Amino acid sequence: MSSTPAVPQIPVVTLNDGTRIPQLGFGVWQVPDAEAVPAVRAAIEAGYRSIDTAAIYENEAGTGQAIAESGVARDELFVTTKLWNSGTVDWSGPQGRDRVRRAFDESLSRLGLEQLDLYLIHWPRPMHGNTFLNIWPVFEELRAEGRVRAIGVSNFRVPDLELLLKESAVKPVLNQVELHPYFPQEELRAFHAEHGIATEAWSPLGQGKDLLAEPALLAVAAKHGRTAAQVVLRWHLQSGVVAIPKSVTPARIRENLDVAGFELDAEDLAAIAGIATGRRIGPDPAGFDWN
Ligand code: NAD
């Protein structure tokens, strides 16, 4: 008899370049580097195989340490990190190219990896003259060199995506954006679907505050004998969205992965649609320029 716990089956989404990403991943925003080690360890032990970090989270080293110590084969894990805004840095020309490549090398080295699975432009920063158009060709280069398997974007709005699609050869595989039942991003998701771009939800649990106490969600949860968090994650999965919930509490880390074995019906989905406010919790990418 084996004492190894069963690893939950996580659905997989095939991206537009053929890369496959687990539909549920583990996010580590606001987890200090030292705490990222036990948190990512607990996540991998629970069965997560996709981890979402970013240079600005300052926990790539802890994340990488947990990955190295996990004993799980590298090709079974999907690791995402993101290029930070970096002030008013000029991303154009050969110097801009060097800056992107250096930032990528530094992230990879902190993670202790030879190859990254997914690299994202963290914010579009349209107020800076769409510098993402300078960054993206360097992402394409890193991909062609095999240093990263897939490239994508985060917090891009429809006009940002339109511009990127018009100007570039390689499509982003996904756009990682704020998305939860309060802010379901229907218009953006329709645009993604039309262009073969996957949708990845950040703050998929609405940061766990008011959302998880919504009476309508609690009623759906009670009906299925599940928690509100599990209902919200099930909603993401049934919407075809990739979600990356965060928790540093081992019981919740496991709970958030245990979302198979029940199905939301039309009545449940209507109840969840009814709590949408159309309001963000996080910043609006149109004006977000934090450095
Ligand atoms: P989230 O929606 O995942 O909520 C996390 C919080 O919800 C936890 O801190 C905890 O308080 C609570 N929670 C988690 N599981 C719970 C459970 N089972 N029951 C009750 N409460 C629970 O919020 P998030 O961390 O903002 O987003 C998830 C990930 O998305 C981040 O860690 C990060 O990787 C990514 N992210 C990306 C961006 C971006 O700009 N690309 C921005 C924000 C977050």
At 139-177, the pLDDT tens digits run 999 999 999 999 999 999 999 999 999 999 999 999 999
Total of domains in the chain: 1
Q: Looking at the domain assignment, is residue 52 inside a domain?
A: yes
Mean pLDDT of all residues in 85-96: 87
Residue for token digits 């032990």? 45
Residues touching ligand 1 (Cβ under 6 Å) are 27-29, 52, 122, 154-155, 176, 202-208, 212, 227, 229, 244-247, 252, 255-256, 282
Asked, for residue 233, whether it belongs to a domain, the answer is no
Q: 252 pLDDT exceeds 90? A: yes
- Distances from the Cα of 62 to the Cα of 66, 120, 219, angstroms: 6, 19, 38
Read off the pLDDT of residues 264-284 as tens digits, 9 standing for 90 and up: 999 999 999 999 999 999 999
Evaluate whether residue 260 is within a structural domain: no
Q: Are 60 and 34 in contact (CB under 8 A)?
A: no
Is residue 258 a part of any domain in this protein? no
Radius of gyration for the chain, computed over Cα atoms and rounded to the nearest angstrom: 19
Atom of ligand 1 nearest to the CA of 31: 32
Place of tokens 């991998």: 44
- As a whole number of angstroms, the distance between CA 148 and CA 241 comes to 22
What pLDDT, on the 0 to 100 scale, is given for residue 237?
98
Q: Specify the pLDDT at position 209.
A: 85
3-class SS letters over 94-126: HHHHHHHHHHHHHHHHHHCCCCEEEEEECCCCH
Angle between helix axes 93-111 and 60-70 (nearest 10 degrees) is 40
Cβ(128)–Cβ(96) under 8 Å?
no
> Bridge-partner residues for 81, per DSSP?
119
Tokens of 101: 């490549």
Q: How far does residue 280's CA lie from ligand 1's centre (Å)?
A: 14
| Model pLDDT for residues 7-17, shown as the tens digit of each residue | 678 999 999 99
Between CA 174 and CA 170 the distance in angstroms is 12
pLDDT of the residue at 146: 98
User: Residue 68's domain is classified under what CATH number?
Assistant: 3.20.20.100
Q: What is the per-residue pLDDT for 179? A: 98
Structural domain contains residue 217:
no
> Which of 20-24, 77-81, 88-92 is predicted least confidently?
88-92
Measured in Å, residue 248 CA sits from the centre of ligand 1 at 10
Q: What is the pLDDT of residues 256-265, one digit of tens each?
A: 999 999 999 9
Structural domain span for residue 124 = 12-206+241-247
The residue whose CA has the least distance to atom 25 of ligand 1 is: 246
- Which residue's C-alpha comes closest to atom 30 of ligand 1? 202
- Whole-number Å distance, alpha carbon 204 to ligand 1 midpoint, is 6
Is pLDDT at 45 greater than 70 in this prediction?
A: yes
278 inside domain:
no
Q: Does residue 167 lie within any of the structural domains?
A: yes
Instruction: State the pLDDT at residue 2.
Output: 40
Can you list the pairs that 143-147 forms with residues at least 24 positions away whose Cβ atoms lie under 8 Å? 143/170, 146/115, 147/104, 147/108, 147/115, 147/116
pLDDT per residue as tens digits for the range 47-84:
999 999 999 999 999 999 999 999 999 999 999 999 99
Kindly state whether residue 221 falls inside one of the protein's structural domains. no
